[in-house]
């Protein structure tokens, strides 16, 4: 009996050993095949005088570490347009020859100091050191794209045309880390491809600043972020029937230690180009959440909404949903009263675009979405629909329309669409009583603009509301008194 058990155990052990050996062999074979594929891919991407993606990354890390953000350099991303079409129409050997010729033209027409890397089929990075100013870099790029447009010989007589696109960024303005620089180039290249490709485009420096002035300003902004010098000012909108504050539009301001309070246009471009617009946006969301309780109390309105703008760079960030969720949990906040203003272009992107996916995810979290309706067609509105929108905005550009009948018909269409889909409507940029009355006659009672209030610091909102409420109540009493007299 013991012998029988022993024999059975041996058989089981043999089966286990054989299974392990088979599994190891399978893994080994898979590794070898993977190695062959990788070697083949690397060989395909190997060119004389061209760095690999990893080696190039090490070079950039070294340059960034040594620069201490006191010097600038440029990073250029070149992409062969419609590369998959080339792959499909040419055999690998011929395609390889075309790429070798392309690389040779690049090396012959770019400065000697350039470092070049290949990171994918048809995709290259160039690094130009600090000695090359913005205008000089752009001149090289424009000259290069013209050279690369010349025909390429295929076989003995046939030729083909190859189109390329170039995106240009500068350290540290458009990113102070490798990942930020790569991301700035990737976003810019997406815009280029969307517009048809075959061009050069740069994340440009501010035209009014020299490179040194720009760098100094960049450093000041960095310190401002660290010192929490950025804050929100709020512009109220009011319901002209109830005199209740309907919403607040949040405007970011920089409380500069020397220059005083600076409006967004003084620094927002630098933030966008450096990549710091995203952390500022998250910081801003947290500020709004923390100040919301006070604002609701100050305006005596638990249903008060706060509007804040989200742009391309924030919406295309793959971490935005995770980061917003983290901020909400950290502060125990409900996002239902926060409205993100989003451009109509971003709201009309395809369903598989990362921006569309992030907008839908923000809605699922509980945030509301607003869009400016100027220039939108009825078809656009239906396409966005209540699944994306919560608030429709109309600005004073409508009031500049000369065809009053057409304007009124269009605004009525927007108002009817909002009513059918249970959406809010807000008229903004109102500057006088006449403009207010026009929108009131068109059944738009939520209104915002300098006629009611400018953007206010947090410590000013309560005082403004007291003054506004007193004035509104006095006007209401006068209206009631006048109505009574007329009846008598």
Structure confidence by residue, pLDDT tens digits, 89-102 = 888 888 888 999 99
If pLDDT is split at 50, 70 and 90, which confidence band does 116 have?
very high
- Tell me the DSSP string of 327-357: HHHHHT--GGGEEEE--HHHHTS-TTSHHHH
pLDDT at res. 423: 93
397-424 pLDDT, tens digit per residue, is: 888 777 888 888 889 999 999 999 999 9
Tell me what pLDDT residue 24 has: 57
Find all residues with CB under 8 Å of 389, minimum gap 6, and list them: 347, 369, 370, 371, 421, 423
Please report the pLDDT score of residue 35 as a whole number. 45
Is the pLDDT at 75 greater than 60? The verdict is yes
Residue 41 predicted with pLDDT over 80: no
Q: What angle, 0 to 180 degrees and rounded to 10, lies between the N-to-C axes of helices 354-365 and 320-331?
A: 20
Q: Is the pLDDT of residue 38 over 70?
A: no
Confidence label for 359 from pLDDT (cuts 50, 70 and 90): very high
pLDDT above 50: residue 40: no
254, 224 contact by CB (below 8 A): yes
- For 120-135, how does the pLDDT look when each residue is reduced to its tens digit (9 = 90+)? 888 999 998 877 777 7
Listed residue (240, 235, 237) closest to 441, CA to CA: 240
Does pLDDT of 245 surpass 70?
Answer: yes
Domains recognised in the chain with CATH numbers? 53-204 (3.30.70.270), 213-462 (3.20.20.450)
Query: In whole angstroms, what is the distance from residue 452 CA to residue 238 CA?
Result: 8
Note the pLDDT of residue 473.
Answer: 67
pLDDT value of residue 90: 86
Region for 375 from its dihedrals, namely left if φ exceeds 0, alpha if ψ lies in -120 to 50, beta otherwise:
left
* Strands of 428-482, DSSP E: 446-448
DSSP 295-330: HHHHTT-TT-EEEEE--HHHHT-TTHHHHHHHHHHH
Query: Coil, strand, or helix at residue 105?
Result: helix
pTM of the predicted structure, to 2 decimals: 0.63
In the chain, what percentage of residues exceed pLDDT 70? Answer: 83
Residue 15 has pLDDT above 70, yes or no: no
Mean pLDDT of 187-216: 77
Structure confidence at residue 71 as a pLDDT band (50, 70, 90): low
Instruction: State the Cα–Cα distance between residues 231 and 286, nearest whole angstrom.
Output: 11
Share of the chain above pLDDT 90, in %: 36
């Amino acid at each position: 009996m013991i012998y029988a058990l022993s024999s059975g155990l041996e058989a089981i052990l043999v089966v286990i050993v054989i299974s392990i050996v088979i599994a190891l062999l399978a893994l080994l074979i898979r590794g070898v095949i993977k190695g062959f594929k990788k070697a083949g891919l690397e060989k395909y991407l190997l060119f004389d005088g061209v760095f690999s993606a990893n080696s190039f990354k090490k070079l950039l890390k070294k340059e960034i570490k040594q620069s201490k953000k006191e010097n600038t350099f440029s990073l250029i991303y070149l992409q062969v347009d419609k590369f998959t079409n080339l792959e499909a129409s040419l055999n690998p050997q011929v395609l390889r020859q075309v790429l070798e010729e392309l690389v040779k033209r690049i090396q012959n027409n770019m400065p000697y100091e350039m470092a070049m890397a290949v990171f994918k089929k048809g995709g290259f990075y160039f690094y130009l050191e600090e000695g090359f100013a913005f205008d000089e870099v752009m001149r090289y790029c424009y000259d290069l794209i013209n050279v690369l447009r010349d025909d390429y010989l295929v076989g003995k007589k046939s030729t083909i045309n190859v189109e390329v696109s170039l995106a240009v960024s500068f350290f540290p303005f458009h990113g102070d880390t490798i990942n930020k620089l790569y991301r700035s180039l990737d976003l810019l290249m997406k815009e280029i491809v969307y517009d048809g490709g075959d061009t050069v485009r740069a994340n440009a420096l501010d035209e009014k600043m020299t490179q040194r002035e720009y760098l100094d300003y960049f450093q000041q902004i960095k310190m401002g972020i660290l010192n929490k010098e950025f804050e929100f000012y709020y512009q109220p909108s009011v319901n002209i029937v109830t005199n209740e504050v309907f919403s607040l539009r949040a405007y970011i301001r920089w409380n500069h230690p020397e220059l005083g309070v600076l409006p967004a246009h003084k620094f927002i471009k630098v933030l966008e180009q450096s990549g710091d617009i995203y952390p500022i946006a998250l910081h801003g969301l947290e500020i709004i959440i923390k100040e919301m309780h006070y604002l609701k109390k100050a305006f005596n309105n638990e249903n008060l909404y706060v509007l804040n703008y989200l742009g391309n760079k924030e919406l295309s960030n793959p971490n935005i949903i995770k980061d917003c969720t983290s901020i909400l949990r950290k502060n125990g906040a409900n996002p239902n009263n926060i409205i993100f203003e989003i451009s109509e272009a971003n709201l009309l992107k395809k369903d598989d675009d990362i921006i569309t996916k992030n907008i839908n995810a923000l809605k699922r979290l509980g945030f509301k979405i607003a869009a400016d309706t100027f220039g939108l067609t009825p078809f656009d509105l239906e396409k966005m629909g209540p699944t994306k929108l919560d608030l429709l905005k109309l600005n004073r550009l409508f009031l500049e329309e000369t065809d009053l009948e057409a304007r009124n018909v269009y605004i009525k269409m927007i108002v009817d669409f909002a009513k059918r889909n249970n959406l809010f409507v807000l008229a903004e940029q109102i500057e006088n009583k006449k403009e207010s009355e026009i929108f009131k006659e068109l059944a738009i009672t939520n209104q915002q603009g300098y006629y009611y209030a400018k953007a206010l610091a947090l410590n000013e909102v309560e005082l403004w509301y007291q003054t506004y409420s007193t004035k509104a109540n006095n006007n209401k009493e006068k209206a009631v008194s006048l109505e009574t007299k007329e009846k008598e």
